């Protein structure tokens, strides 16, 4: 029998306890009060307040987490440990699937689904409830589609959480956004890197980052913003759906706007705002609609540098798609303005390569963390020929 609460004169959930007192005879709570602990409960409470520290070796982490939830445990701390394990293993997503008999936790690493942990139903459901609580969702409702964000201490990237009722229980998907990268880390060859920095050196114009969804466009847009900020001052605004990393927390002076179409904050409204906000650099995570393309081009044509993501299969398709979007606006597509404004296109996608460890690769491989493959960026650049 697993307990999360320790009874004194009232129930104090482990999640509300912050730490043992220095002499170990009591426990402090987040409300600032201190409770005395009966000696026989001290070891279990100490254990519940100290979840395993992730090592990055999935097998070890899974074993430690299973052992942790087999005694007195704090679901919130276990949820954080799960997220840290996933981050250490380089996972992009964590999936929790309720099969009606138990709950499977799997990581998506380098595009492959890797089994991580199998929890008993009651434990798994409590972990799910803790994740909902952390994400600002309703922990007691498992019959709703819910979405939220889990902030993580000391990490500029939140985790996006999504909860979905299924026939047997509930499905949880957690998206861990990648870490911030610098331009040289993007895996571009020297010529591509030079072309991209050339595009970003312009004071105004449009730079398109094209590729399929999940191809790392936002990573590149962030790296580009960091590069521009380091290069020169000015006012920078990034319009995102959703905000993946809080750039100011990471020391990059960029204001971020998160779109919220329900409340009227569409990409179009944000771009119109940006035109009146006297900003020098505007980033847009993805151009989707004709009106957005038109406003992005207008901003780029009137003295701002606009870096925008675009869903396209190649560099040539990116230009075609931009013209196609523009042709569906009232003003229409003016090829001369596009060619005058477009500073360049970077197209990128991620390609799965077999793990370089070869026969030495296994579930605890430190190169691929059991995914047996790695994703490598593959990029192409295009810039207009100099006149």
Q: How far is the CB of 63 from Zn ion (least distance, A)?
A: 19
Q: Helix or strand or coil: residue 263? A: helix
Pick between residue 56 and residue 384 the one whose CB is nearest to Zn ion: 56
Closer to Zn ion by Cβ: residue 58 or 215: 58
A 10 A CB-CB count for 368 gives: 23
CA distance 368 to 354: 9
- Work out whether 355 is an interface residue with Zn ion (CB under 5 A): yes
- Out of 112, 198, 357, 383, the residue judged to bind Zn ion by CB under 5 A: 357
| 365 makes contact with Zn ion (CB under 5 A) | yes
Q: What is the CA radius of gyration of the chain?
A: 24
CA pair distance 243, 230, nearest whole angstrom: 21
Q: Report, in Å, the least distance between residue 86 CB and Zn ion.
A: 17
Task: Provide, rounded to whole angstroms, the least separation between the CB of residue 368 and Zn ion.
Answer: 3
Instruction: Decide: is 367 part of the binding site for Zn ion (CB under 5 A).
Output: yes
Minimum Å gap between C-beta 147 and Zn ion is 33
d(Cα 335, Cα 351) in Å, to the nearest integer? 33
Q: Which stretch binds Zn ion (CB under 5 A): 4-12, 50-58, 261-269, 358-366?
A: 358-366
Q: How many residues does the chain have?
A: 387
3-state percent helix, strand, coil for the chain, nearest multiple of 5: 35, 30, 35
How far is Cα 102 from Cα 139, in angstroms, rounded to an integer? 19
Which region, judged by CB under 5 A, interacts with Zn ion, from 70-78, 131-139, 182-190, 354-362?
354-362
Helix, coil or strand: residue 197: helix
Stretch that binds Zn ion, among 69-77, 107-115, 243-251, 366-374 (CB under 5 A): 366-374
In the numeric block, which tokens belong to residue 264? 């009227």
The interface region with Zn ion, picked from 100-108, 178-186, 264-272, 362-370 by CB under 5 A, is 362-370
- Provide the CB-side half-sphere exposure for 140 (13 A, CA): 0
Between residues 16 and 357, which has the closer beta carbon with respect to Zn ion? 357
Of residues 108, 103, 168, 101, the one with CA closest to residue 129: 103
Nearer CB in complex with Zn ion: 308/368:
368
- Alpha carbon separation from 133 to 18, 74, 361, 380 (Å, rounded): 17, 13, 37, 43
In the window 230-269, what residues touch Zn ion (CB under 5 A)? none
Strands 5-7 and 11-13: antiparallel
Query: 51 or 370, CB closer to Zn ion?
Result: 370
If the CB atoms of residues 65 and 371 are measured against Zn ion, the closer one turns out to be 371
Nearer to Zn ion, 283 or 371 (CB): 371
Choices 30-38, 77-85, 233-241, 365-373 (CB under 5 A): range interacting with Zn ion: 365-373
**Is residue 271 at the binding interface for Zn ion, with CB under 5 A as the rule?**
no
- 172 versus 355: smaller Cβ distance to Zn ion: 355
Span 13-72, contacts to Zn ion by CB under 5 A: none
Binding track, positions 191-230, relative to Zn ion; x by CB under 5 A: ----------------------------------------
Of the pair 17, 361, the CB lying nearest Zn ion is at 361
Nearest to 115 by CA among 123, 105, 125, 124: 105
Q: Is-contact 24 39, C-beta < 8 A?
A: no
Kindly state the smallest distance separating residue 188's Cβ from Zn ion, in Å: 24
Provide the token pair at 297.
């081009």
Closest of 183, 384, 181, 200 to residue 281, by C-alpha = 200
Task: Provide, rounded to whole angstroms, the least separation between the CB of residue 56 and Zn ion.
Answer: 13
Query: Do 314 and 344 meet the contact criterion of CB atoms below 8 Å apart?
Result: no
Told to check if 114 binds Zn ion by CB under 5 A, we report no
Interacting residues with Zn ion (CB under 5 A): 355, 357, 361, 365, 367-368
């Amino acid at each position: 029998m697993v307990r999360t609460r320790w009874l004194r004169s009232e129930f104090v959930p482990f999640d509300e306890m912050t730490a043992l007192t220095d002499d170990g005879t009591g426990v402090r709570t987040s409300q600032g009060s201190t409770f005395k602990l009966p000696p026989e409960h001290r070891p279990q409470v100490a254990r519940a307040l100290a979840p395993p520290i992730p090592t990055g070796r999935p097998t070890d982490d899974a074993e430690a987490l299973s052992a942790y939830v087999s005694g007195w445990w704090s679901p919130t701390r276990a949820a954080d440990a799960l997220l840290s394990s996933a981050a250490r293993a380089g996972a992009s997503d964590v999936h929790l699937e309720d099969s009606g008999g138990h709950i499977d936790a799997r990581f998506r690493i380098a595009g492959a689904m890797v089994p991580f942990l199998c929890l008993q139903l009651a434990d798994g459901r409590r972990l799910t409830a803790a994740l909902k609580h952390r994400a600002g969702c309703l922990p007691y409702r498992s019959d709703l589609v819910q979405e939220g964000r889990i902030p993580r201490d000391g990490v500029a990237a939140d985790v996006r959480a999504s909860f979905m009722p299924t026939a047997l229980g509930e499905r949880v998907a957690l998206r861990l956004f990648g870490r911030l990268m610098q331009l040289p880390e993007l895996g571009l060859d020297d010529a591509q890197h030079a072309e991209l920095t050339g595009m970003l050196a312009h004071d105004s114009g449009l730079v398109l980052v094209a590729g399929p969804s999940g191809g790392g466009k936002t990573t590149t847009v962030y790296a580009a913003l960091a590069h521009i900020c380091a290069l020169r001052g000015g006012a920078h605004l990034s319009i995102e759906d959703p905000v993946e990393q809080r750039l100011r927390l990471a020391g990059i002076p960029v204001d971020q706007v998160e779109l919220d179409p329900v409340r009227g904050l569409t990409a179009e409204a944000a771009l119109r705002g940006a035109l009146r906000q006297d900003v020098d650099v505007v980033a847009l995570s993805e151009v989707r609609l004709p009106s957005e393309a038109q406003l992005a081009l207008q901003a780029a044509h009137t003295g701002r540098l606009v870096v925008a993501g675009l869903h396209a299969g190649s560099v040539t398709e990116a230009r075609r798609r931009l013209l196609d979007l523009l042709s569906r606006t009232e003003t229409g597509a003016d090829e001369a303005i596009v060619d005058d404004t477009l500073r360049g296109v970077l197209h990128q996608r991620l390609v799965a390569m077999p793990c370089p460890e070869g026969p030495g690769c296994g579930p605890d491989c430190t190169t691929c963390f059991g995914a047996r493959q790695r994703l490598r960026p593959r990029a192409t650049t295009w810039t207009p020929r100099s006149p």
